Each structure stands twice: as structure tokens, then as C-alpha cells.
Amino acid sequence: MTPYRVMTVCTGNICRSPMAEIVLRDRLEAAGLGQAVVVDSSGVSDEEHGNPVDPRARAVLAEHGYPTGDGHRARQVTSADVRGHDLVLAMTARHARALRALAPADGDGAVVRMYRSFDPAADGLPEQRLDIADPWYGGPEDFEVCLAEIEAAADGVVAFVRGRLGLADRPGGRGPTTVER
């Protein structure tokens, strides 16, 4: 079985998108989908190419119990990434526009969505109001807010992916099962 592929995208791929990648991996694993879904991240800019996750992002993730691994290196998103993923999650409306511009003209590519569009508290907000602010310019509190926004949408992303995989929760919360057709 080919895994379902998800990519999170921000500006430089050192704060928001790797934070979302780590949170989504954790939530997907907890949902029993860790083997069925691959999550990675990138940025629309090459300005941080090769850099690790920002130390402040790593610190807030660690404080909240997430694994922070040392292997991440920032990279710029490509049109091949958009074609090669099933779901691409933008952190801002500007990122979404850049991703849609990279999408193949034949429509054979990822679904591009705003990450926060999966947050129940943001339901019905227009795309331009779904931005996750860049914490890079702020202090620890900005990274906390960023993580909270990422976490608030993560379960919605998991539910969306579960639906795309044709899975539903079993009664009683015993994990995934294939939907009867």
C-alpha cells in the first residue's frame, strides 16, 4: 500500500511547518495511522535552506512532550512536492497562493488547504483570516501561541486523512476500521 503523503509548508521551514510536522506525526501515530501516512515539511523560501528547526520551536515542542529529533534540515518546496503529496497544508494564505502556483496544470497534485481550516474554532473564517503568525520575530509566548494553533487543528487533519483513507472510528474508540461499502 502506498502511504498517504502530507506536507506542511511555512516560509523558511524552521518554525511553523516543522512544528506542525512533528505534532501531526504524533497525532497520526496515536490514531493508529503512523504506518499509513508520511508527514514532512518544507518552506516557500530557500532563505533557511539546510538549517535545523529553530531552537525556540524545539524548546516549546519538548516542553509539551513532543519528540524533537535532530535530523530536520530546512528545504524549499518544489512543484514535484506538490505533485507528489496528497495533502499540502499552508500556514498562511500567502503560502497557499505560492503552493497553488506550483500545482500542476493538469490538476494531478495535492489538495492544498490552509492548516487552520481544520481547527473547529476557525470554522467558516475566510482563508485570509486563517494565518498562523510567524513566531520567529517574537519570544517564547509567540511559540506557545503557534503550537496551540497547530494543536487545535491537528485532530481535524487526522480526521480528514482518516476519511481520505476510507477509515472510520470503530464504536467504543477501538481504533480504525475500514468503512463498509
pLDDT, tens digit, for every residue of 148-157? 999 999 999 9
Residue 77 makes CB contacts below 8 A (sequence gap 6+) with 7, 9, 42, 43, 44, 88, 98, 99, 102
Number of domains in the chain: 1
Active site residue 10: yes
- Residue 108 is predicted with a pLDDT of 78
- The pLDDT, as a whole number, for residue 75 is 98
* Residue 129: CATH number of its domain: 3.40.50.2300
pLDDT in tens, 17-39: 999 999 999 999 999 999 999 99
**Catalytic residue among 5, 83, 97, 134, which?**
134
pLDDT over 50 (residue 147): yes
C-alpha dist (Å) from residue 134 to 5, 84, 93, 119, 181? 24, 26, 13, 18, 43
pLDDT at residue 70 tops 90: no
Q: Give the active site residue among 15, 16, 86, 146.
A: 16
pTM metric for this prediction? 0.91
Domain containing residue 49:
4-178
123 carries an active-site annotation: no
